[in-house]
Amino acid sequence: MAMDFLPTGSIPSFLETLAPFGEVHGPTMTDDGVSAFGRIASPTGLRLDYQRTLLPPKKYLLPPVETVLTYSPGERYRHPPLTDENIVLFGLHPCDLKGIAYLDTVFTARGSDPRYRVRRQRLTLIGISCEPDENCFCGDVDAADPANFDLFLERTAAGFHITSGSPRGEEIIAALAPLLVERAPLPVSRRECAFASVIMAAAGRGETFPDSHLWEDFAARCLSCGACSLCCPTCYCFDIREYGGLDGATAERLREWDNCLFTGHGEVAGGFNFRKNRRDRFHYRYQHKYLGFGPTRGAVACVGCGRCREVCPVRIDLLELFKEEGDEQKP
Amino acid sequence: MNKNRDMTSVPLPASIIDRHKLSDDTSLFRVRLDDPETARSLAVIPGQFVQFSVPAGGEAPISIAGLPGSDGVLDLCVRRVGHVTDMIHALPVGSKVGIRGPYGNGFPVDDWRKRNILLLAGGLGIAPLRALLHFLLAHRAEFGEITLMYGAREPAAILFKEELAELSGRRDMHLFLTVDFASEEPPGGLTCNTGLLPGLLEGVNFTTKNTVAAICGPPALYRCMIEELQGFGFPPDAIYLSLERRMKCGVGLCCHCAVGNLFCCTDGPVFRYADLRGIRGAL
Amino acid sequence: MNRPIIAMAGLTACSGCQLTLLNCEEELPELAERYILAYFPMGLTERVITGPIDVAFVEGAVSTPDDLEILIKLRSRSRYLVAFGTCALWGGVAAMNNHEARNTLLETVYGKGGVELKSFNPQPFRHFIKVDFAITGCPPEKAELLTTLAALLRGTFPVFPRYPVCTECRNRENRCLLIEDNELCLGPLIQAGCNARCPAVGIKCEGCRGPVAEANVAAELELLLGKGFMREEIERRMRRFYPEWDYEQRS
Amino acid sequence: MSSVLEINPLTRVEGHGRISVHLSGKRVERVTLALTESPRLFEALLVGKGFEEVPEIICRICSLCSTVHRVVSLLAIEKAFGIEVSEQVHLYRELILHGGHIQSHALHLFCLVLPDRYGAAGLPDLAAMAPKALQMGLRLKGAGNLIQETVGGRLIHPVTLIPGGMGKPVSREGLLKLKETLESLLPEAWQTYELFRSFPQPSGSLGSPRFMAVRSGSSPHLFGKALMLGPTRSVPVEKYRQTLGERVVEYSNAKTSCAVEGPFTVGALARLNLGLLLSPKAAEAFQECRNLIMKRDIRANNLAQAVEVIHAMERSLEIVETLLGADFARERPARVTPRSGEGSAAIEAPRGSLIHSYRFDGRGLCTAADIVTPTAINQSTMERDLLLLAQQLEGASDREMTSALEQLVRAYDPCISCAVHLVRHQPVG
Ligand SMILES: Cc1cc2nc3c(=O)[nH]c(=O)nc-3n(C[C@H](O)[C@H](O)[C@H](O)COP(=O)(O)OP(=O)(O)OC[C@H]3O[C@@H](n4cnc5c(N)ncnc54)[C@H](O)[C@@H]3O)c2cc1C
Ligand code: SF4
Ligand code: SF4
Ligand code: SF4
């Protein structure tokens, strides 16, 4: 028995307790009926039973577009000051936590990106357990077990078992003490992962499915709308553009999410394109998601959140590559 | 050298202290960091590049085309091909610019000691190889035979003509030039063949034993050069290529420049052919 | 460019592009200071095009001999000519029925006698002259106009991203009208830059900014047919701002 | 010896036009006003399009009037299919129309007319000569723009308003922003009126026009079911063709409305003359300048517009407050089931009465479209007034003549773009 249980009815007080740690954000429903992370102004805005948000939590670390440098003749290039406040991001599913862990390896492991680092430090991550739907496959890509959280809430019918994963988590638990009650621990359960072995084995040997007919099929149907990567918790390709001000002197440099399925992604000067057609671009996407490059070489980036399957207007699903392979392996 | 790894790290203030025209579309910009301390401490490996910023235009990766001397001046040889490079070309001497870097691995010159070096440059590919050549000549005794073969579209497109004329007089290296079309005599008394670079290779006597080849040029050049070199008996791990890719950050974050599972910016831009062989779309 | 000399002119159009300039209330004083507005019938009394022009922003499609004459005159006087707005760049609304005989249209509006009016099928500029730059949109976005003007102070044009409306739409976390509501949204085919204005207020994209580079037209068509729309209706909507779609195109 | 004085193109008006003064010696024989805007054949373009597409296409007729065309087309379509919209939707439509009036009047008064008052060649000159006044005008115009953009989702060619309802209504923050902006600019609306009142009034008279406006109840209104042809006479909107004929003039690309009962004048001046019910401050202004407006010729139109700016601002504020108070929920648009039929509707656009009329087949495809714009209605009187004024100015220099005639055209605030995209041709008579 442990004093780690938060009854469902205590959620409003829980949110209040979180307030000193930062502005509380979590899953909400927009007036369009879109599930999205946003500020939780009152407990009624919180939708803890959500399936998945449209944009993943990466928007808190890498906004879709931001000014990364300003230029003025006197000051030359400068970082604009970061104004973001501390934020407690509440209600993250294990896949999204893993997605953030992946971004951490890219953007902080080698001290790479100061803006990311500052924002990351100001972010407190509180996870929550979830129920997979037909688009989820976190178990298959080893992302089902919660990790990389400050606090994690394991959900039961009556409330939540709370675990801390960091010193900050301990602090929060300490502040929560009056709300917690004693309850028997949950039995350990693991998710069925029918497909994990196929994916992991293929990724392990650097499989590129060179002969699959699916590449052409994907290429023919893909609209290059960008949804799959914008909504992917681990896609972080970005474009950089710089625009001058109307004063003729100052300028701003923008960083914006890019997508490997866009025409310009592999283009160099003079119109030469290293990934001329969508087929080549899909190989690239596959390479990044399942084999990695640069600092993520050898790491499977996909966390199985199912967003790309849900948001693709033409229902393209990279998993089919492995499925096909799985079928072939069957006698 | 790695202290500027940050993508969003601020381009250091720098100024164009000199520029001169090398051909119709290419000029050499001599750029110095405004802070003399940093300028002097700049350590460059031949083959590395910088991110060259022009305010209100943006950034472009540009090879360092010569070794910065004690004055810390960077030679940047820029061809006008688009948005950023157009704006660079519009800048007069004295203009304020920004520099990040140096970035990339550069040529592994330390591993090449005692070996013969064959430099193969096509067009603008001369830029990083010039830095390499300067290095080799500065450490002449540590290397074997040095041969530079350089092909340009036409005589007027040959870059660094005066310098080449000077080099052609040197006894401690070989220089071969070729142009695709010769409608006129090459200026400055240069001797010049007509035909494509691979053809030049065939006509010239050189040793493949204990030799490494360093190639830089347009994508099409690589494909035929590599075939040619292998025909001469170069093993794939003695062929080094400096690749071009779209680059937004130069530090391994933006994910535009991947070649297979390698990044052109951080794992390259110099690669051994042995490492690129199996990679779809590498060349 | 030190105080670029600008001309703003309109051919067959609604003047929306020119109005976009007048709608930059906050920036107008600064603009008046930094640019020489040499020709702008909508805002100036000056009625002749005199002297050389650095940049001409011209809106509208070309549909009469007069249009063509003005366009050619502006082209020859200007260092750069910008196709300003969807009509200038793609043909726009006036061109949506270009596949029908012009005379029938004229007759419908002006009666038999009306056919005498000298006009032809509205065309985008590129059918007649070289265009240096384009700002798309019906109407164009203020921000893109201002960014372009700012770039001109440095003697250049800006680089705008080339991706479809969906990209901006997803980034704003709008409800996808195509997937969720089975509406005839053209977002996947259309050049972004409007920050998905319409889906952001719950209205499907009508394609006012014209085709995005390498649009997968055939796939969008299949998708919409699959949702039960009639081919005729889809084409009619697609043609609204751009009559020259290649319905087979995939990239 | 006969000669022609050409004023081509007309500047600081919306669209392309040309005035030709035919002279015999110094005597003015004839004045023609040609609207030379390239024809865009909107009515023909609409034929064969679905009813949903009509508002989206027709608003492109003219950027300055896109809002009013969109709104009146919705009304005509809804009429044809027998659709009623909710109170919320109706309020938003009225709000956006007022925004259009503010923007259009402010643009006209400050950017197109004011340069004449200061003898400036255009905006850049005006910016140097009367920066304060111009900035005030731009702020007011900005408020009108803000309303249209906030409500319509886009300033030019708004998008939210659709048959049967609307997309997303304005958020609370958006409404509060509107409220704040309108409140802060009310004093400047009043100053605008004072500014235009302070200018010398025209000498001489061009006679008193016959006014027309859309009527609701017994006075002019933005929306209404009848056209008011004078203090006591009116006709139902559907019967507009009986009152307003139309002819193609050989020198002009617009079809002129040739009113069967003699030419009508529409616009702000008409509305005030016919007794538009004004908001408190606007009524106060009107009381003050009543005799400069009542029964005056079109040159009083600018002052009338200034009064209407106050009215539109106050009325907008009132609507915003109602919307804030009511806290309406988001509604799904009414389902439109197409049926074959016809619908006509009229509203008061900034420049005057605007009529749209459509016929649809059973699938909801448009089979006929007819649009009457205020400029088309005004064109006959415009020409008549030009002739009168030119005759009064006989002997004046070309420059004087040009400037006076151009100013007269500007007083009408014509929208040539709209006028040139007129209706299905019906021989008059
Ligand atoms: C390692 C390396 C070294 C290089 N060295 C030189 C050199 O010494 N001299 C020289 O003239 N050129 C060199 N280039 C090529 C040069 O970077 C491009 O020509 C330049 O970026 C083109 O930019 P642009 O804006 O003028 O062209 P545009 O075609 O207008 O390009 C538009 C955008 O695409 C990007 N872009 C286009 N082409 C490239 C590219 N090849 N690489 C990266 N980004 C690109 C630019 O950042 C720009 O934002 C090098 C490229 C690399 C990768
Ligand atoms: S979501 Fe689908 S259609 Fe869109 S870019 Fe990705 S794969 Fe292509
Ligand atoms: S609503 Fe339209 S523009 Fe937005 S994502 Fe869906 S298809 Fe694309
Ligand atoms: S969403 Fe589509 S119709 Fe709307 S402004 Fe953008 S491109 Fe135009």
Instruction: Kindly report the pTM of this predicted structure.
Output: 0.90
Helix, strand, or coil here: D261?
coil
**CA–CA min distance A245, chain C (Å):** 6
Distance D202 CA to ligand 4 centre (A): 46
List the strands of the sheet with B49-54, edge to edge.
Answer: B58-63, B49-54, B96-103, B12-21, B26-33, B73-79
Residue spans of chain A under pLDDT 50: 330-331
To the nearest 10 degrees (0 to 180), the angle between helices D172-198 and D301-326 is 160
Q: How many CB atoms lie within 10 A of CB A179?
A: 18
Instruction: Return the DSSP state at C130.
Output: -
Nearest CA to ligand 1 atom 13: B62
Q: Are D38 and D49 in contact (CB under 8 A)?
A: no
**pLDDT at site D423:** 35
The alpha-helical segments, DSSP class H, found in chain B are: 36-41, 83-89, 126-138, 161-168, 197-203, 219-231, 273-276
- Using the beta-carbon criterion (under 8 Å), do A238 and B6 form an inter-chain contact? no
Bridge partners of D214? D227
C201 inside 8 A of chain A by CB: no
C191 inside 8 A of chain A by CB: no
**pLDDT at site A284:** 84
Q: How far is CA D145 from the centre of its chain?
A: 15
- The amino acid at D319: I
Ligand 4 atom at minimum distance from C199 CA: 1
d(CA D397, CA D394): 9
To the nearest 10 degrees (0 to 180), the angle between helices D131-152 and D87-106 is 160
Question: Which two structure tokens, joined as six digits, stand for B71?
Answer: 């004055």
d(CA D26, CA A295): 87
- The amino acid at C126: R
Express each pLDDT in C60-82 by its tens digit. 999 888 889 999 999 999 999 99
Q: C147: Cβ–Cβ under 8 A, 6 or more apart, which residues?
A: A243, C158, C160
- Using the beta-carbon criterion (under 8 Å), do B83 and C159 form an inter-chain contact? yes
d(CA B229, CA D341): 80
- The amino acid at C136: T
> What value does the mean pLDDT take over residues B228-247?
87
ipTM summary value: 0.89
Helix, strand, or coil here: B278?
coil
Touching partners of A (3+ C-beta pairs < 8 Å): B, C, D
Nearest CA to ligand 4 atom 8: C208
Ligand 3 atom at minimum distance from A313 CA: 7
Q: Does pLDDT of B7 surpass 60?
A: no
Task: Tell me if A260 CB under 6 Å of ligand 2.
Answer: no
Residue among D323, D402, A227 nearest C168 (CA):
A227
Task: Tell me if A226 CB under 6 Å of ligand 2.
Answer: yes
Output phi, psi for B107, to 5 deg.
Answer: -75, 140
Task: Please indicate whether residue D307 or residue B189 has the higher confidence score (pLDDT).
Answer: D307
Question: Which two structure tokens, joined as six digits, stand for C134?
Answer: 């384009």
d(CA C72, CA C129): 7
Bond into C139 cis (ω within 30): yes
**pLDDT at site A326:** 58
Q: Which residues of A are less than 8 Å from C213 in CB distance?
A: 263-264
Nearest CA to ligand 3 atom 1: C176
Q: Which residues of D are less than 8 Å from A31 in CB distance?
A: 168, 330
Q: Are B31 and B61 in contact (CB under 8 A)?
A: no
d(CA B247, CA B262): 13
Q: Long-range contacts made by residues B193-201, C-beta under 8 angstroms, separation at least 24?
A: B196/B151, B196/B224, B197/B120, B197/B122, B197/B149, B197/B151, B197/B221, B197/B225, B198/B224, B198/B225, B198/B228, B200/B149, B200/B151, B200/B176, B201/B120, B201/B149, B201/B225, B201/B228, B201/B229, B201/B232
D333 inside 8 A of chain C by CB: no
- Ligand 1 test: best mutation among B24, B64, B81, most atoms within 8 Å of CB? B81
**pLDDT at site D426:** 33
CA-to-CA dists, residue D320 to C172, D94, D96, D399, angstroms: 26, 11, 11, 47
Bridge partners of B152? B179
Question: Which two structure tokens, joined as six digits, stand for C184?
Answer: 């005839």
Residue among A250, A248, A236, A217 nearest A316 (CA):
A217
Q: Taking CB atoms and an 8 Å cut-off, how many pairs form between chains A and B?
A: 132
Please report, in tens digits, the pLDDT of each residue of chain C (251 residues total): 689 999 998 888 888 898 899 888 788 888 888 999 888 876 665 566 778 999 999 999 998 888 899 999 999 999 999 999 999 999 999 899 888 766 666 666 666 555 455 678 889 999 999 999 999 999 999 999 999 999 999 999 999 999 999 999 999 999 999 999 999 999 999 999 999 999 999 999 999 999 999 899 999 999 999 999 999 999 999 999 999 999 999 98
Q: Are D355 and D344 in contact (CB under 8 A)?
A: yes
List the strands of the sheet with A238-244, edge to edge.
Answer: A76-78, A65-72, A251-257, A238-244
**pLDDT at site A110:** 64
d(CA C161, CA A215): 26
Q: Name the residue in chain A with its Cα closest to that of C178.
A: A313
- Using the beta-carbon criterion (under 8 Å), do A210 and B53 form an inter-chain contact? no
d(CA D423, CA B140): 87
- Using the beta-carbon criterion (under 8 Å), do C187 and A55 form an inter-chain contact? no
**pLDDT at site D425:** 34
Reported as half-sphere exposure (CB side, CA atoms, 13 A), residue B81 has a value of 13
d(CA B14, CA B30): 10
Question: Which two structure tokens, joined as six digits, stand for A314?
Answer: 């033409």
Instruction: Return the DSSP state at A291.
Output: I
CA-to-CA dists, residue C106 to B170, D40, D41, D230, angstroms: 79, 9, 7, 35
Reported as half-sphere exposure (CB side, CA atoms, 13 A), residue A289 has a value of 26
Q: Which residues 234-263 of chain D have a CB within 8 Å of chain C?
A: 248, 253, 255
- Using the beta-carbon criterion (under 8 Å), do C31 and A246 form an inter-chain contact? yes
Please report, in tens digits, the pLDDT of each residue of chain D (429 residues total): 688 888 887 777 776 788 889 988 888 888 888 877 666 678 888 999 999 999 999 999 888 889 999 999 999 999 999 999 999 999 999 999 999 999 999 988 998 888 888 888 777 788 888 889 988 998 999 999 999 999 999 999 999 999 999 999 999 999 999 999 999 999 999 999 999 999 888 777 787 788 999 988 878 888 988 888 888 888 888 888 777 766 555 556 666 665 556 688 999 999 999 988 999 999 999 999 999 999 888 889 999 999 999 999 999 999 999 999 998 888 989 988 999 999 999 999 999 999 999 999 999 999 999 888 898 888 888 888 888 888 888 888 888 888 888 888 888 888 776 665 543 333 322
**CA–CA min distance D371, chain C (Å):** 10
CA-to-CA dists, residue D218 to A329, D125, D224, D228, D354, angstroms: 84, 45, 10, 9, 19
- The amino acid at A309: R
Distance C245 CA to ligand 4 centre (A): 17
Q: Are B198 and B205 in contact (CB under 8 A)?
A: no
- What's chain C's average pLDDT? 89
Pairing of strands D213-216, D341-349: unpaired
- Using the beta-carbon criterion (under 8 Å), do D53 and C237 form an inter-chain contact? yes
Helix (H) or strand (E) segment spanning residue D213: strand D213-216
**CA–CA min distance A99, chain B (Å):** 16
Express each pLDDT in C187-222 by its tens digit. 999 999 999 999 999 999 999 999 999 899 999 999
Helix (H) or strand (E) segment spanning residue C20: helix C16-22
Q: How far is CA A63 from the centre of its chain?
A: 12
Bridge partners of B177? B150
Distance B60 CA to ligand 1 centre (A): 5
Q: Name the residue in chain A with its Cα closest to that of B85.
A: A269
